[in-house]
Structure 1
Amino acid sequence: MRSRSWQRRWFDPLKFLMLLLAAQIIGLLLWGLTWPQSPPVELSFVVPQDEVQPWQTVIAKFEKSHPDIQIQLVTDPDLDYTTDQRKAIYTADFQFPRAQYDLVYMDIMWPLQFTESLQDLTPYVEEDNMSLSGFLASELSAGELDGTLYRIPMRADVGLLYYRQDLLQQRGVSLPKTLPELTQAVRLLQPSIGYLWQGSRYEGLVANFVEVLAGFGASWIDPETGKVELDTPMAIEAATLLQDLIQKGISPDEVRTYIEQDSLQRFLEGQTIFLRGWPYFWNQIQNSDLNGKVEIELPFAFTNDPGIGCRGGWGFGIPQNSAHPEEAWEAIKYLTSETAQREFVLASGFLPSRTILFQDPDIVKKYPHMPQMLEYLESSSVFRPVIKDYEAASKILQSALSDILRGQQSVKAAMKQAQTETEDLLQSVSPGG
């Protein structure tokens, strides 16, 4: 009896079960710590070299708050990845069953051209009750068609004129407006190089032409009627003016081969008076020997009227063939947020797409011209034509302008041909496209 009583006291079933349960819990915890975890989802998008550093800072903070998502920047140190090159990369990627790039970092002109390849972001916005009211209205509308939202804006852009205020002051020369005034200023300031711009056969040449054309009060394709207006007196005059800049020695012959970085690097050498460029040029200028010597204005209108800058801008979309659309949306929400844009702008000099940041004290301290940029965007800028087959129309215009600058066709012949080809193109596109 004593022996059995002792056994009963020693063996308590309830305590045994509790010990067994505790052992199981400890085992599960240890198993969880040692069992391989699912790797993070990796997203990627394509960027040029000059955006790598500012993006790395923003992405590092995103990954810290989203450890299950990583973002890879795709770039090439030997290429600058022009807008056209990046577009070609994404266009090819849309053809695969599964996207290599789950984030489409896109130019303001792409959404309408990619409607069949991009997801509608409206359901994501509505599900997260995301407010879009803080964005520039014009930036939002550029990514929307018939109630479908294809792009969330990340940064805005507008064409600008950079000029050497110190050189103008030394000779008592006022900032020129018209072509004769510019010609006279360049002659007075010789041997300095006059005016640099982007004349290579690519989208940047179109932006330069659109600004001159807008300065004359004309358009490439009428936004109201859709009528092509290349074989018109104003368009012919605008193309002739670009030709004259080179032929009259106001711009060097090399501008016919220049893209953005070429013209900026030449300007940074310190021997040029005027440069047509984009807002991000300011950061590199301020970090050079030209710090404190350069001012900003709207591009030359070549008339007595104020200039007009061509609109640019970049934002994010999600491809239809994305394997990770939910994770891509999480990234887009962060990358286009006020916090991320603020950090990106401070590091790069690009313009934000959120209006409040144009008045941000830290941004204005570093970039005093930022409030002025908002004014330019809202009242002194022009969009390129919003048409379905924009790329083909742009190629037609690029070819005509390049032939003119290189003397391969007369201005009238080139513009007449561009008019006919563009009209044929638009007639072949289905209505509403």
Structure 2
Amino acid sequence: FTTNERKELIARSLRSRNSRIDIFAVDQIWVPRFAKWAEPLDKYFMQRDLSKFLPQALSTCYYQDDLLGIPLYLDISVLYYRDDLIKAIPGFENIRDELHQSIAWERLLEYGQKYGKSKTFYLFQGDNYEGLICNYMEILGSMGGTFFQDNELKVNTEKGRQSARFMHDLIEKYKLSPPEVTDFIERESYIYALQNDAPFLRGWSSYLKDLDIQDQNPEKVKQLRMAFLPHFSGYPRMTVFGGWNLMISKYSDKKWESFEFLRYIQSEEVQKILFETSGYLPVLKSCYTDTTMLQAYPYLGYIKEMIACGVHRPALINYTKISDILSFYLNKILKSEISAAEGLQEADETIKSDKLFLR
């Protein structure tokens, strides 16, 4: 299931108001949407319990000052590069250093124009779904843009149009990304990158532990390295948070048992298992200072740097509507069916209207 499909399946089940569901997992951005079905957790957790969490993870569990969830894991958007392919470029050591610090988009485009021999130089996810919003937000943030203007949600801004045009230009102008990206979600883009030897791929930090991907081409997967996403010159490096939270249904008749399960999930033992088996980033502070873990996974220190640069998607109760509308128009922009200016203007007008939006 895609993230969007999971959301609808969970919502459909909770609307019945029966006690069949005790605990449900949600994308961290859905907490406001699912708040009306969630059991408030403030009475279950002491402050010392909550202080163990990374603030970037815990902050997504609140809605209107009520604690409604507990972080399950974090994910962050990253740039993957194929080390074996980078080594074929003259001065690859310098490129590695640039990538580690967060390479400027201007430099990556320069390398692409000089050494990119096909349209598979850089891959991203451009299908009409939540992942496209994350991709867009990364480009927008990396050039100093935001979803808000004068404290009001607004996507049709100068930075917004620049970001949409840049994503389109990666396909049509620079020809560094294939047109197929407009139909890619994560799995398709990962497999395409391996099959077509793309040197650069935008993805999530948990990708390297995806067993399905590992089976595709294990030798190529071994050559993948993780780096900060690119940024535009003059702007700070950044990443966008993903991740999931656990919530207790207020209709559950096993609330205390559910609470005990949440306490178990937040143990170091479980957090380490999730990381080691699935690549899901721990939500506990202690995991990033644990000597044993750092010795086994030295890149956790690098991940901690990325987390410090992370930004969240807007925590709005109508975020689902916003995401559905914006991803629809962004996808049309990428497919050259509409201009960036027209697409974002229509997105803004549709978001502000009370009309039901159907894809």
Q: Please confirm whether the aligned pair reaches a TM-score higher than 0.5, indicating the same fold.
A: yes
Q: Is 2:70 the counterpart of 1:152? A: yes
Change over 3 Å in CA distance of 1:376–1:113 after alignment to 2 = same
Q: Could you tell me which residue of structure 2 aligns to residue 104 of structure 1?
A: 24
Q: Counterpart in 1 of 2:181?
A: 255
Contact 2:329 2:344 in 1 (8 A): yes
Deviations 1:11-69 (A, max 9, x none): xxxxxxxxxxxxxxxxxxxxxxxxxxxxxxxxxxxxxxxxxxxxxxxxxxxxxxxxxxx
**Structure-2 separation of matches of 1:360 and 1:263:** 34
- How far residue 101 of structure 1 moved from its aligned partner, in angstroms, is 2.7
1:133 to 2:60 alignment: no
Residue matched to 1:274:
200
CA RMSD of aligned residues (A): 2.3
Q: Which amino acid aligns with 2:21?
A: Y
Distance 2:60 2:105 in 1: 33
Q: Residues 195-344 of structure 1 correspond to what in structure 2 (within 5 A)?
A: 195-222=122-149, 225-248=150-173, 249-269=175-195, 271-284=197-210, 288-290=218-220, 292-303=222-233, 305-344=235-274
Q: Which amino acid aligns with 1:395?
A: D
Amino acid at match of 2:266: T
8 Å CA contact 2:124–2:135 kept in 1: the answer is yes
* Structure 1 residues 151-172: Cα deviation after superposition (integer angstroms, max 9, x where no partner): 1011111110001233223212
Contact kept in structure 2, 1:192 and 1:271, CA below 8 Å = no
SS in 2 for 1:314: strand
Structure 2 SS opposite 1:125: coil
Q: Are the equivalent residues in 2 in contact too, given 1:108–1:315 (CA < 8 A)?
A: yes
362 and 257 in structure 1: CA distance in 2 versus 1, 3 angstrom threshold: farther
User: Which deviates more, 390-399 or 192-201?
Assistant: 192-201
> Runs of 5+ in structure 2 lacking a partner?
none
Partner-residue secondary structure (3-state), 1:162: strand
Identity between Structure 1 and Structure 2 (%): 27
CA contact (8 A) 2:76 2:307 kept: yes
Q: Secondary structure at the match of 1:312?
A: strand
Task: Indicate conservation of the 8 Å contact 1:231/1:416, yes or no.
Answer: yes
Q: Distance in 1 between matches of 2:180 and 2:221?
A: 25
Distance, in Å, in 1 between the alignment partners of 2:104 and 2:65 is 42
**Structure 2 residue 8 is matched with structure 1 residue 88:** yes
Give the structure, 1 or 2, with the largest relative contact order (CA under 8 Å, sep 6 or more). Answer: 2
Amino acid at match of 1:98: N
Say whether 1:399 aligns with 2:319: no
**Residue by residue, what CA displacement relative to the aligned partner does 1:161-193 show, whole Å, maximum 9, x if unpaired?**
001233223212525744443333224142482
| Displacement of 1:293 | 2.6
User: The residue matched to 2:26 in structure 1 has which SS?
Assistant: strand
SS of the aligned residue for 1:153 comes to strand
2:352 to 409, 423, 426: 423
Q: CA deviation at 1:207?
A: 0.2
1:374 to 284, 288, 304: 304
Q: 1:231–1:415: 8 Å Cα contact kept in structure 2?
A: yes
Note the residue ranges of structure 1 that are not aligned, 5 or more in a row.
1-80, 429-433
**Preserved CA contact (<8 Å) 2:106 2:233:** no
Number of aligned residues? 342
Letter in 2 for 1:273: P
Pick from 252, 265, 279 the counterpart of residue 349 of structure 1: 279
Q: Alpha carbons of 1:99 and 1:241: their partners in 2 closer, same or farther (altered >3 Å)?
A: farther
Residue 120 of structure 2 contacts residue 196 of structure 2 at CA under 8 Å; is this kept in 1?
no
More deviation, 182-191/273-282? 182-191
- Relative to structure 1, the CA distance from residue 362 to residue 279 in structure 2 (aligned partners, 3 Å threshold; closer, same or farther) is farther
1:315-367 alpha-carbon deviations (Å, 9 max, x no partner): 21101222322221111111222211111111111101001112334433443
